[in-house]
């Protein structure tokens, strides 16, 4: 089953999107014209407007999906006990009329490192932070709530964004175990926004937020065949999000990217330096104006094959790759193939490029400050976390 229903949002990337195995439609919601799985935000809003669907039904549909699929996939770490109440409120607001945002009544899953001041825990996948209490919602969560989105729950992630150890598999955390790629059970779901991507791909939620420091949105979006946007650092506020590296951290989205991006961009006094500068680049009138059916026409797209494809020897992957270039060409783009970039191996090596040394140095400073600002927490410093990991082997390896 190919997804073809999307003429606009993230159009290019969505052409590559293949659906998961056909999932069973929730009988209560099924109508001849509207299928929830793989539905876009735009289609869901249409169904709301035409009284084919309520936010409450949608949340219940996702809860059913989570109950049946999550024991295997482990993309969802916690379900929000307030989600149904939020959905009912969204339904009441819609019934009352008025101008609503594109994300109004839409269920959103948040990567576990994104702080929420509610029943949900914020733990980066680690037991060390279970029981910690954040002072307030992260800046991006405040914006989502203001937009009327329903916070469905927290997504699993690579524990501590993979900073705890480079050898921990992508998508693994102590609290939920190994997340599973819904397309290929033994396949790598990639991290660290693994649960955010897995959950959208398996129709356990409409849209999700992830975070990226170095590949943490792009890679899971790629591996789980969903659209991901890594915004420029500062376009979205990092305030209230468990940090790694202030120079590099950013909060983005792994599906229906344009609606979520519009809701979460902008200045935040709690992330002053970075968001002040970037706020000047948020386009007047938002991002939807740039979704164009013929957006590929006249574009030049460079393709750097080496070293990315050097080690790929799988005809399925190689055929799919060529097919995607063909989609660009058919859309009117000029594909400039076999580009070479000088020193690419140095640029791509995060140790040689300086990326990892900066990240490691900034992590200590950033995480200590985050932990100090928590209202309550079993750990208050990086040293406490390391001690927790040493003293609780059973809670660290699962
Ligand atoms: C948060 O963690 C506590 C402690 O383990 C747990 O009792 C609670 O159910 C968690 N919250 C959610 C929403 O899962
Ligand atoms: C690719 O795989 C084929 C068949 O499995 C093998 O014969 C060939 O040597 C491989 N090529 C490379 C470059 O690894």
* Gap from CA of 318 to ligand 2 centroid (Å): 13
- Taking only the tens place, the pLDDT of each residue in 292-305 is 889 899 999 999 99
* Gap from CA of 313 to ligand 2 centroid (Å): 6
| pTM for the predicted model, two decimal places | 0.87
Closest ligand 1 atom to residue 153 Cα is 13
Q: Could you list the pLDDT tens digit for every one of the 398 residues in the chain?
A: 222 222 233 322 222 222 222 222 233 344 446 788 888 899 999 999 999 999 999 999 999 999 999 999 999 999 999 999 999 999 999 999 989 999 999 999 999 999 999 999 999 999 999 999 999 999 999 999 999 999 999 999 999 999 988 888 999 999 999 999 999 888 899 999 999 999 999 999 999 999 999 899 999 999 998 989 999 999 999 998 999 888 888 887 655 889 999 999 999 999 999 999 999 999 999 998 888 889 899 999 999 999 999 999 999 889 989 999 999 999 999 999 999 999 998 888 988 889 889 999 999 999 999 999 999 999 999 999 999 999 998 887 75
Among 119, 121, 153, 376, residue to substitute to test ligand 1 (most atoms within 8 Å of Cβ)? 121
In the chain, the domains with their CATH numbers are: 9-291 (3.90.1300.10), 295-379 (no CATH)
* Gap from CA of 15 to ligand 2 centroid (Å): 29
Confirm or reject: Cβ of 132 under 6 Å from ligand 1. Answer: no
Confirm or reject: Cβ of 120 under 6 Å from ligand 1. Answer: yes
- pLDDT in the model for residue 139: 97
- Taking only the tens place, the pLDDT of each residue in 129-161 is 999 999 999 999 999 999 999 999 999 999 999
First to last CA, the chain: 36
């Amino acid at each position: 089953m190919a997804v073809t229903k999307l003429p606009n949002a993230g159009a290019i990337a969505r052409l590559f999107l293949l659906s998961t195995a056909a999932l069973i439609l929730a009988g209560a919601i099924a109508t001849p014209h509207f299928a929830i799985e793989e539905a876009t935000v735009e289609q869901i809003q249409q169904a709301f407007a035409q009284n084919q669907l309520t936010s409450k039904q949608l949340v219940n549909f996702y809860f059913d999906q989570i109950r049946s699929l999550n024991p295997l996939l482990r993309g969802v770490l916690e379900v929000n006990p307030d989600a149904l109440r939020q959905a009912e409120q969204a339904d009441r607001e819609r019934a009352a009329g008025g101008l609503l945002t594109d994300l109004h009544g839409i269920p959103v899953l948040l990567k576990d490192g994104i702080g929420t001041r509610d029943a949900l825990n914020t733990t980066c996948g680690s037991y060390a932070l279970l029981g910690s209490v954040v002072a307030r919602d992260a800046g991006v969560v405040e914006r989502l709530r203001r937009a009327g989105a329903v916070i469905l729950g927290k997504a699993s992630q690579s524990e501590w964004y993979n900073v705890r150890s480079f050898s921990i598999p992508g998508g693994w955390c102590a609290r939920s175990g190994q997340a599973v790629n819904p397309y290929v059970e033994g396949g790598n779901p990639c991290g660290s926004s693994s649960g955010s991507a897995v959950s959208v791909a398996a129709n356990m939620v409409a849209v999700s937020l992830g975070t990226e420091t170095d590949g943490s949105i792009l890679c899971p979006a790629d591996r789980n065949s969903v659209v991901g946007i890594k915004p420029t650092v500062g376009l979205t506020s990092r305030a209230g999000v468990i940090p790694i590296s202030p120079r590099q951290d950013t909060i983005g989205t792994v599906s229906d990217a344009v609606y979520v991006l519009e809701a979460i961009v902008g200045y935040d006094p709690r992330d002053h330096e970075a968001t002040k500068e970037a706020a000047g680049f948020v386009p007047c009138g938002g991002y939807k104006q740039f979704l164009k059916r013929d957006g590929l026409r006249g574009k030049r797209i460079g393709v750097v094959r080496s070293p990315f494809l050097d080690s790929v020897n799988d005809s399925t992957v190689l055929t799919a790759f060529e097919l995607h270039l063909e989609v660009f060409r058919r859309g009117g783009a000029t594909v400039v193939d076999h580009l070479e970039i000088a020193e690419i191996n140095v640029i791509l090596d995060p140790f040689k490029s300086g990326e990892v040394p900066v990240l490691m140095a900034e992590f200590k400073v950033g995480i200590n400050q985050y932990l100090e600002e928590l209202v309550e927490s079993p750990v208050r410093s990086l040293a406490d976390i390391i001690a927790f990991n040493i003293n609780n082997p059973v809670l660290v390896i699962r």
